Structure formats: C-alpha cells, structure tokens
A and B are shown apart, each in its own frame.
Chain A
Amino acid sequence: MPTAAPAAPLTSTTIDGAIDHLQATYPKAVSADNREGYGGIIVESAQLLDVARFIRDELGFDYLSSATAVDYLGAGDHMEMVYHAYRSSGGGALVFKAQTERDQAEIPSLVSVWRGADFQEREAWDLYGIHFPGHPNLKRILMWEGFHGHPMRKDWREAYYEEEQKPFDSRWPGGHVHRAEEKNVFGKNVSYPREIDLSRLMDTSESAVYQSLGLGVDVERVMDKDGFETNELVVNMGPHHPSTHGVFRMVLTVDGETVTSLEPVMGYLHRNHEKIGERNTYLHNIPFTDRLDYISSMGNNHGYVLAVEQLLSLGRRYNQPTYRCEVLRVLMVELSRIVNHLWAIGFWLNDIGAFFTPVLYFIQERERILDFFEAVAGSRMMCNYMRFGGLFGDLPERIKSVSNLTNDRARDYNTIQFLTEMVSERIPRTIDELEQLLTQNEILIERSVGVGVLGAADAINYSAAGPLLRGSGVPYDIRRADPYSIYDELDFDVAVEDAGDMYARYRVRVKELRESVRILRQLLPRLEATKGQSIWADGKPGAYAPRVPLGEAYGRVENGKGELGYYIVSAGGKSGTSNPWRYHVRAPSFINLTPMGIMSQGYKVADIVGILGSIDIVLGETDR
C-alpha cells in the first residue's frame, strides 16, 4: 500500500486489537468510548495528531472515510469530532473522537494526515464553528463568508423555526393553515442579528474566495503589467455553467490555457438537509434522502435504512429484514447504479464534446428503468422505496396498470417479464452500443487518456471513493471490502483500472455496468424463489414512529458515486423520541471534490469540465 509503513502485523490486527494497541501506546490520550450504544475511542485533542498518524501509519487505517461534528448541547455541553477510518484493504472502521468545549471550540486539523479531511473540516467550521488550527484554508464552504452564526449548532434557530422536532403541534388538531412567511416580519426566510450594520452592506462572500487563490480582490494590480509576459488570470466557471452538472462553481487561475490552481466553490444548493434531518423523525428522513443524489435515490434509501437498522438492532425485538426484502433492495440499488453510470458517462461525454448523441441513447434506457421504478415505488426519481425492516411494497403484478383517467395510453407488462427483458436484452445491448460508440473512439481517447490523473496514494489520502478511487488502481468497493445486505453471496468482480485518468474512470464505469447486469441476472432466480415471502421483517408493516435505542451508527453503501455513509446519533428511544440527534451524510460527491484541485493542475481549461464530469458529482449530494 502506498502510504508507507510496511510494519506487517499491526496493519492487519482486528479493530479491537488496534484499539488495545492504541491504548497501550497512548495510555493518557486514548480512552474507550463507554457511552451506551457508542463504540470506538476518545482521543485527547492535544495528542490527536500523533494518534492519527499512528492510526494511519502503524495500524494501517489509511482511508479516512468520514469526519463530522456533533453538538452535545445539554448532554455534556461539548462538541465532538467523529472520525471513521478504514483500511483500504477492507474491513471495519476504527472510530475515534475528539472532544472540545462549545465556546471557542478547537480541535487540531487532520489535513496534514489525511487530505480528505480538508472539506469535511471546513464544513464542520462552517456549520458548527469548530476551529481547526493547522488547516491550510479554513473558511466557510457551504454558507457564504459573512453569514451570521453556525447553523448546525443545536441552539441556532432558522428564521422559519417552529419547534425543535417534528411532528409540529400546530398541524393537528388545530391546524389552521398559514404559510411560514406570513409569520416573518420580512415575509422571507430571513432573520438578521441585532448588530447588523446597514451602512456598509457589502457582499463579502466573494473576496474570501479570491483571497485563497493568493490574489487580492484588487485584480487590476495584477493585470497592470506591461510587456509580453503572461499574466495569470482568474476565471470563474459557474455557478451557472452548462457543464458544471448543476450549480457548482470553480474559480480557476489560468496561465494562458493552462490551469495553475483551482478552487471549488459550493453551497449553491445547500438546502440544509442535515438541519432538517435532525428536526425530522427517522421515518421522515427517507424521502429526504431521495433528494441527496437524485440520480440514484434507491441507493440513498439503502444507506440510510441500513444505518437506522444498525441502531434498531441494538434494541430488543429486532428482526433482520427478510431475504426477499434484501433481494429487492439489491435489485433496485443495482438498477439505479446502472442509471447513475449511464447518466454519468453520458454527461461526461457532453462535457468533452460528444454533445448529446450518446446521452440521448442512454436516457432512452433510463426511461425504461424509471418506468419500472415508477411502477414499483410510485415515482420516477424520488422513489422513497425502503423502510426500516422492509420496503414500501412488493413488486406489482403488472408494470402498468390501466387507469380510466382521460386518454392515457396503457403499456401493460408483466413485471417479471419486463425485468427479464430489460436485464437480458436491453441493458446489455445498451452497454454494447455504448462500448461500440465510445471505447475505441480516437477522439475520446485523445481527450481523456492521461488527463486528470490521480495516483493511487493520493486517491486514498484524499478520501476519494467510488469509480474515482477504483480508476486510480485501488480495488476498494464496499460491497466487497465491507459487505452488507446479500452482496457477500453474489458473484461479481470489483472493477478496477490502474491509469487514474479520465479514461480509466470511464472504463471502470463501463465495467461496473456489466457487473451490475451480472448481479441482476443472479437476482432474477432469487426473486422467483422467494416469491410469496413477506417483505417485512416482522411480517407486517413497521410502525411509523419506531423507537430507536440510544447510540450511534454509521451505515455505508457503495453508491454509484462512491461511498455513501450516514452517521446517526440517537438520543434514545426510552423517552419515546423518534428523531435523530445527529444526522450526517458522508456524501461521496462532496468528498470526491477534495482532489479536484490537484487533479486539474497543469491541464487545459477545456479539460476541467471533463475532469469534473469524470468525477461524477451531483449537487444535491455535494451541498446537501
């Protein structure tokens, strides 16, 4: 493995062994987390850097999956950073935490150990106000510079605040309707701090962006040189740009056509998923997860449901989901992976110049799959299909049933027949066509081979995930590395390519499409075999307000875009609360952007959109 330290035995110990070893090495700094339902260790923040280096180098946990903050207001009144580190060779997580005071929260930055912590720490600063000494570029990431307060803190209230937790009492039984803006003085979703200075209202959000590029806001001075020497120029791409896959923005510094540095600017679609998620009940969050990575909503459902089931399993009377339920889940997830990859490849081609011909072919196939989703789950995109311990419903008998509405046209298919035709004919045919159209295409090869290179060591260190990681030669797929659901009994290969460039990522996606079809083929007989089995773990639909025991859980799945993780802290089910205390999404699209800067250095401006497309981001997930 690239990150040094071939000290053999330690890097393959069990998690418990690793924790024991840590405690032996740092007896003062490391203590076990003994809170009910919690796991892992708590590290003194003074020694955090040393311990983190030890964890990475000696114990071999070289992949930092998630770093997030939790605000324990009222329960110890402290803030906590929670880190999940994995081995890139596979296995479970080493969870370690560092605590700090709420006022003047400060935890040393781990960017020097794992570059992948970069954006996540910035997010923690932005939303929680935790300061990270040692961070190279600590500024707000989702909100704008100058925004008042750190909104994810438990005592921070939004302008339309109604109650701490849903369901709101005003809805029933005396639910006299009103719109939230009617109650706000300004008629808008705004509130200003008392110390607002109206005399000098300036948009300060932009200057911060440019300052980090080593430029003042005063661009003229830079431009004012004479002679023929080239000047570096700052170019803004986005947030409204046809090929940024949404409202994403990149601030480039270019020397001629060559990019010398790139600064991703995001938050243009930050719709407060996590804040809303903490007001929501557990059940409420499922349809909200649909809207994270809205291309593959089934995968989002799956990760969230797994995380909550992990928490539920801490309590008594918990039943595993039935086999049929698991089969259906994997079926849906693999179909949405196909949708995701088709979409990703198609729009990546748009970015590098194959304008819309391939994409339209792929969207045709996607429409068929969406038809299936619509028939099964009720909606084309926002499937909201999975439930805790079950599913919304079993496969319907027919894919389109007839309704008497107006002059709608019927397309009546037996569901299994439709699925079989899709899996055995249409989807493989589309993949073949895709390969015929693209894989040998000389223009494509010239545009993409050797562009946007990310080495294996960097990929791991920057916490890249999904095709981005596997395209760099790291065979890390959670379905194999840390199996969940029924993936351990399914036969498929981890797609991997060594080159680390755009073309390699494309190849990985094509391979994964084929592997998904292979998985789907194995699922069809299983569907037949389990026909008639209940889809509910308890034999009947689950309660709408399940009691979730005290504790924390981190559920992760291999989504189309990479590792999608949900970190959930439950405040306890004994008191009857069914709302998560902390709900965090480890978004692959967000963290995969961390290496965007180094990946694009030295390439041409025209390559940048291609590199971004090859990462495959979706803004709903990036900004949450």
Chain B
Amino acid sequence: MYGTGLAKGLMLTLRHFVDSYIDDIRYGFRKYSHSVDNFGIRQGTQTKGVITVQYPDEKVAVPERFRFVPFLIVEDEYHPTRAGKDWCTSCGICAKVCPPQCIWIVRGNDPATGRPVPEPEAFFIDIDICMNCGYCAEYCPFDAIKMDHDYELASYDRTTHHIHDKERLSKPNSYWRSIAPTRAYEEMLARGTWEHKDAAKEARRGKSSSRSAPRPAAKPAPAPATKEAQPTPEPAVNAAPAPAAAAEGTTPWSEDDAKREERRRKALERKARRAAKRGG
C-alpha cells in the first residue's frame, strides 16, 4: 500500500524520540549529574537516543594520543639538577619532518666558545600553519616536543597570539605526564630512565667516574615512588582521573601528582572558605 514505507520511516523517528525519553527515565536525575561513568555510558556505545555534551560545563575527554598544537617539555622543579632546562637539544629533526614547515629553531651557541650547545636559543611554532599532524612529537629522539591536549586557543588577534615562542611553548614535564600518563610511562621505559637522555648520560658518567655528588642527586624521589605505586594503586583524588590512573597504577609520578592534588584541594578549600566569609 502506498505510504507504508513512509509510515515505517516515521515509526523510526518516533522510536528515536521515545528512546531518548526511556533513556532519561533509565538514568533519572543522573542525566543532570556530571558523574563520570554516567557520562561515559551516555557518550559511549550503549546509549540510545541523542545526548548532547554540555560543552563548557562538561567536556568530552580527549584520548591520550590526541594531538593539537605542539609544546616543548621543560624539566620541572622535581628534578634536582636540571629544573627549568629544556629537553630539546635543538637537533632540528622536528623542523625537518614538519610538513608545512612551521617550526623555526635557532640553535643555541655557547657565548664563550661559539660552539653549538644542545639547547635551543629560540623556538617558534606558527600555529597558523601547523597542521596538527604530530610528526614532530613522533620523530623527536629526545621526547622533547609533544602534542598538547589544550584545544581552547581561540584569540582575537592572530598577529600577537599565533606565533608561539619558546616561553609560550614550554610546559613542565609533569604536565605531559598528567595529560598522557600511559604514553609518558612507555616513553620512559623506552628511554630506560625517567629523565631526559642527556641527564641520564651525565648521571651514568658521574656514576662510573667519580661516584660523588651527582649520583644521589640524580636519583630523586619519584624513583622509589614507582615501587610503591605498583602494588597499591593510589586512591582516587579527584573524580575524573581516578579509574584509569588506578588501573594503570604503574606511573611512577602518581605520588607527586597526589601531593599536588592535595595542595590544590586545600587551596580550593581555602578559597571557598574565603568566599563564604565574604558572602557572610
């Protein structure tokens, strides 16, 4: 009969419509709660109907391999000797593999001798050209350049904001470990040590030759943390990173992160108290 096909199609749209309400009933008020697993189910393979991500309030988590614009890794304050130093040695491989050639590196020179030093004097990335391909991170032999997960970069003026210089690009090592714990861990295993290749080399050299000061210094706190973290995974500190970090469990820096989280939480509490006081 003419029209049955149409009716069948309309039944489908009706079913989609009903399904989304059934989902609502099934989830009840959890729809409006921002709990992690609820969100996971509703944006995963199980859900029926159409569920919008309430973007600025909640965000779809990006996977570890996600790539946006690159950033440079700088040793953070946890490293006793190299704090604030670049991992980049200005070898120029990233500039060579960059397809649109958006990376500019000025190789550092020792002012005294004039010889090149393994540190970039200047490092620029023109993010108006960058195609987010991730080659720089993939081919960097020193794990020094990584693809950032921060995609919220919109600006009102590109002339001043869109060439990222070294200062803008540099982010601490701990940041990389926080956005991509598993990959950072794998890389660490591949490097053979948790720290930068050069530092490791120095440490080895120091160990073999003099056995003096550098050795204890180069073996800082995070290393023992590895052993602790493996058998007993850290309990969840804040809601979001809990399950997987616990599941991975092997990240050697989880203790550091925990401390930092603790500090952050306390700061937030203080802030809340202050706000409450002001309100009262």
Q: Hey, which bits of chain A sit against chain B, CB under 8 A?
A: 166-168, 170-177, 179, 280, 283-288, 291, 357, 360-361, 364, 368, 374-379, 382, 384, 392-393, 396-413, 418, 421-422, 425-426, 433, 436-445, 544-545
Contact B61 A175 (CB under 8 A): no
- Taken residue by residue from 131 to 164, chain B's Cβ proximity to chain A (1 for < 8 Å, 0 otherwise) reads as 1111100110000000101100000000000010
Within 8 Å CB of A177, what residues of B?
104, 122, 124, 126, 163
Q: B211 in the interface, Cβ–Cβ < 8 Å?
A: no
Of A364, A401, A409, A443, the residue contacting B63 (CB under 8 A) is A401
Contact A280 B99 (CB under 8 A): yes
A368 to B44, CA, bound (A): 7
Given A175-B103, A374-B63, A405-B150, are A436 and B95 neighbors across the interface (CB < 8 Å)?
no
Contact B182 A397 (CB under 8 A): yes
- 4 closest pairs, A vs B, by CB? A440-B5, A175-B104, A173-B107, A172-B92
Within 8 Å CB of B101, what residues of A?
166-168, 171
A357 to B4, CA, bound (A): 19
A-binding segment of B226-234, B240-248, B267-275: B240-248
Contact A544 B93 (CB under 8 A): yes
Contact A364 B34 (CB under 8 A): no
Of A382, A396, A403, A411, the residue contacting B241 (CB under 8 A) is A403
Given A173-B116, A364-B50, A442-B6, are A402 and B244 neighbors across the interface (CB < 8 Å)?
yes
Question: A285's closest neighbor in chain B, by CB?
Answer: B99
Contact A287 B39 (CB under 8 A): no
A425 to B46, CA, bound (A): 9
A-contacting residues, B190-238, CB 8 Å? 238
Given A287-B99, A379-B132, A440-B5, are A409 and B105 neighbors across the interface (CB < 8 Å)?
no
A14 to B242, CA, bound (A): 63
> How many A-B residue contacts, CB cutoff 8 Å?
223
Q: 4 more A-B contacts (CB under 8 A) besides A402-B181, A409-B59?
A: A176-B104, A411-B43, A440-B9, A544-B93
CB distance from A156 to the nearest CB of B (A): 20
CB distance from B37 to the nearest CB of A (A): 8
A403 to B59, CA, bound (A): 12
Within 8 Å CB of B5, what residues of A?
439-442, 444-445
Question: B96's closest neighbor in chain A, by CB?
Answer: A167
**Contacts A/B (CB < 8 Å), 27 sampled:** A167-B97, A171-B103, A173-B92, A283-B97, A283-B99, A284-B97, A287-B135, A378-B134, A379-B134, A384-B133, A384-B135, A392-B138, A399-B63, A402-B245, A404-B178, A405-B62, A409-B59, A410-B36, A410-B240, A411-B44, A413-B44, A421-B45, A425-B45, A426-B45, A433-B12, A436-B9, A445-B5
Contact B147 A412 (CB under 8 A): no
CB distance from A433 to the nearest CB of B (A): 6
Interface centre among A172, A384, A545 (most CB of B within 10 A): A172
Contact B60 A411 (CB under 8 A): yes
Of B2, B3, B132, B245, the residue contacting A382 (CB under 8 A) is B132
Contact B95 A403 (CB under 8 A): no
Q: B255 in the interface, Cβ–Cβ < 8 Å?
A: no
Q: B265 in the interface, Cβ–Cβ < 8 Å?
A: no
Contact B257 A404 (CB under 8 A): yes
Q: B22 in the interface, Cβ–Cβ < 8 Å?
A: no
Contact A171 B95 (CB under 8 A): yes
A118 to B135, CA, bound (A): 38
Contact B6 A378 (CB under 8 A): no
Contact B244 A398 (CB under 8 A): yes
A-contacting residues, B63-79, CB 8 Å? 63-67
Within 8 Å CB of A406, what residues of B?
59
Within 8 Å CB of B122, what residues of A?
175-177
A90 to B25, CA, bound (A): 55
Contact B65 A377 (CB under 8 A): yes
Q: Interface on chain A toward B: helix, strand, loop, or mixed SS? A: loop
A409 to B105, CA, bound (A): 36
Given A403-B179, A405-B178, are A410 and B244 neighbors across the interface (CB < 8 Å)?
yes
CB distance from B262 to the nearest CB of A (A): 13
CB distance from A583 to the nearest CB of B (A): 13
A398 to B182, CA, bound (A): 10
CB distance from B259 to the nearest CB of A (A): 13
Given A361-B16, A443-B6, are A403 and B61 neighbors across the interface (CB < 8 Å)?
yes
Question: B49's closest neighbor in chain A, by CB?
Answer: A364
Question: A404's closest neighbor in chain B, by CB?
Answer: B178
Contact B67 A407 (CB under 8 A): no
CB distance from A512 to the nearest CB of B (A): 21
Contact A357 B13 (CB under 8 A): yes
A-contacting residues, B98-137, CB 8 Å? 98-99, 101, 103-107, 116, 122, 124, 126, 131-135
A179 to B127, CA, bound (A): 11
Given A171-B104, A177-B163, A402-B241, are A410 and B40 neighbors across the interface (CB < 8 Å)?
yes
Within 8 Å CB of A168, what residues of B?
101
Question: B16's closest neighbor in chain A, by CB?
Answer: A361
Question: B102's closest neighbor in chain A, by CB?
Answer: A171
A287 to B13, CA, bound (A): 39
CB distance from A262 to the nearest CB of B (A): 31
Contact B131 A411 (CB under 8 A): no
A402 to B149, CA, bound (A): 12
A173 to B61, CA, bound (A): 37
A219 to B245, CA, bound (A): 70
Within 8 Å CB of A382, what residues of B?
131-133
Given A405-B179, A410-B40, A544-B139, are A374 and B132 neighbors across the interface (CB < 8 Å)?
no
Given A384-B134, A442-B3, are A544 and B257 neighbors across the interface (CB < 8 Å)?
no
Contact B97 A173 (CB under 8 A): no
Of A287, A291, A378, A418, the residue contacting B66 (CB under 8 A) is A378
Contact B105 A171 (CB under 8 A): yes
Q: B90 in the interface, Cβ–Cβ < 8 Å?
A: yes
Contact B40 A409 (CB under 8 A): yes
Within 8 Å CB of B44, what residues of A?
368, 411, 413, 418
A289 to B60, CA, bound (A): 27
A442 to B9, CA, bound (A): 10
Contact B63 A400 (CB under 8 A): yes
Contact A401 B36 (CB under 8 A): no
Contact B8 A411 (CB under 8 A): no
Question: A374's closest neighbor in chain B, by CB?
Answer: B63
Contact A376 B58 (CB under 8 A): no
CB distance from A419 to the nearest CB of B (A): 9
A111 to B58, CA, bound (A): 57
Question: B139's closest neighbor in chain A, by CB?
Answer: A544
Within 8 Å CB of A544, what residues of B?
93, 96-97, 135, 139
Contact B67 A378 (CB under 8 A): yes
Within 8 Å CB of B241, what residues of A?
402-404, 410
Question: A443's closest neighbor in chain B, by CB?
Answer: B6
Contact B65 A393 (CB under 8 A): yes
Question: B59's closest neighbor in chain A, by CB?
Answer: A408
Q: B180 in the interface, Cβ–Cβ < 8 Å?
A: yes
Within 8 Å CB of B132, what residues of A?
379, 382
Within 8 Å CB of B67, what residues of A?
378-379
CB distance from A315 to the nearest CB of B (A): 21
A-contacting residues, B12-55, CB 8 Å? 12-13, 16, 34, 36, 39-40, 43-46, 50
CB distance from B101 to the nearest CB of A (A): 5
Contact A410 B243 (CB under 8 A): yes
CB distance from A356 to the nearest CB of B (A): 12
Given A378-B67, A409-B34, are A287 and B240 neighbors across the interface (CB < 8 Å)?
no
